[in-house]
Amino acid sequence: MLVNPEFVLSFLAASFLIAVAPGPSNAFLMAQTFANGRAAGLQSAFGFALGGVVHTLFAVVGLTAILKASETAYATVQYAGAAYLCYLGAAMLKSTFMQPQCNSEDKPHVSTKKKSNVMLQAMMTEVLNPKVALFFIAFIPQFVDPTLSGSTTFQLAFFGLLYPLFAFPIDCTYIYFGDKIANYFRAHPQSQIWIDRITGVVFIALAINLLI
């Protein structure tokens, strides 16, 4: 037996509570969904899932242990992640003041700002968040059964990859209902600008939260 079935059930129960609870990842998903629609929200969810895979690889090879042991390494990644979120937020705010105001002939559901690689943004946000790294190195090993004859490395990889796969449909639920709410605002031409501005503020707030 490679993994303990009871540990898998416990892991899924704990992962459900963590994935459902509002947090920075969910805020990022909702902000992208409000600003750019359901497709952008889904790209964000894929990006976070890919970020989880990267953190799993880091955990397996022990790189996240370095972050936990070294304050300098932790601070470096923390500031890099916060700077990246600030850049995204500032860029979105800047675009709302540079784009022309909507008029009655504008299509209300079309944003005039340049589209960017949302999936990459989400993945980098996840990868550059040391709190996520510490989550993987502190949370996942709790479900590794050392009494099994299988490899501990395999169990770490199994649970590390299971979490983003399990969290993805939950993220999609957030995106679905977020898009329903956003459709109302998209029906009014002027609302898109304010949605983008709120999204930019959310990104900057996430950066501040990362540093707390």
Give the model confidence (pLDDT) of 119-145 as tens digits: 998 898 888 887 788 777 777 887 888
Cα separation, 177 vs 118, in Å, equals 19
Radius of gyration of the chain (CA): 19
Q: How many residues does the chain have?
A: 212
pLDDT band at 48 (very low <50, low <70, confident <90, very high): very high
pLDDT recorded at residue 210:
64
Q: List Cβ neighbours of 161 (8 Å cut-off, separation of 6 or more).
A: 52, 53, 56
pLDDT band at 63 (very low <50, low <70, confident <90, very high): low
* Angstrom distance (rounded) from CA 136 to CA 96: 37
Check residue 99 and give its pLDDT. Answer: 52
Residue 46's pLDDT band (cuts 50, 70, 90): very high
d(CA 107, CA 99): 14
| The pLDDT value given to residue 184 | 67
Cα dihedral 118, 86, 128, 199, rounded to 10, equals -40
Per-chain mean pLDDT for the chain: 78
Q: What is the average pLDDT across 50-60? A: 87
30 versus 73: the higher-pLDDT residue is 30
Exposure of 140 by Cβ count < 10 A (0-12 exposed, 13-18 middle, 19+ buried)?
Answer: buried
pLDDT tens digit sequence for 176-202: 988 887 776 666 656 667 767 777 787
Residue 78 contacts residue 156 (beta carbons within 8 Å):
no
Amino acid at 137: I
With beta carbons less than 8 A apart as the criterion, state whether 123 and 50 touch: yes
pLDDT of residue 13 exceeding 60, the answer is: yes
* Contact status, residue 36 vs residue 111, Cβ threshold 8 Å: yes
Q: pLDDT band for position 43 (50/70/90)?
A: very high
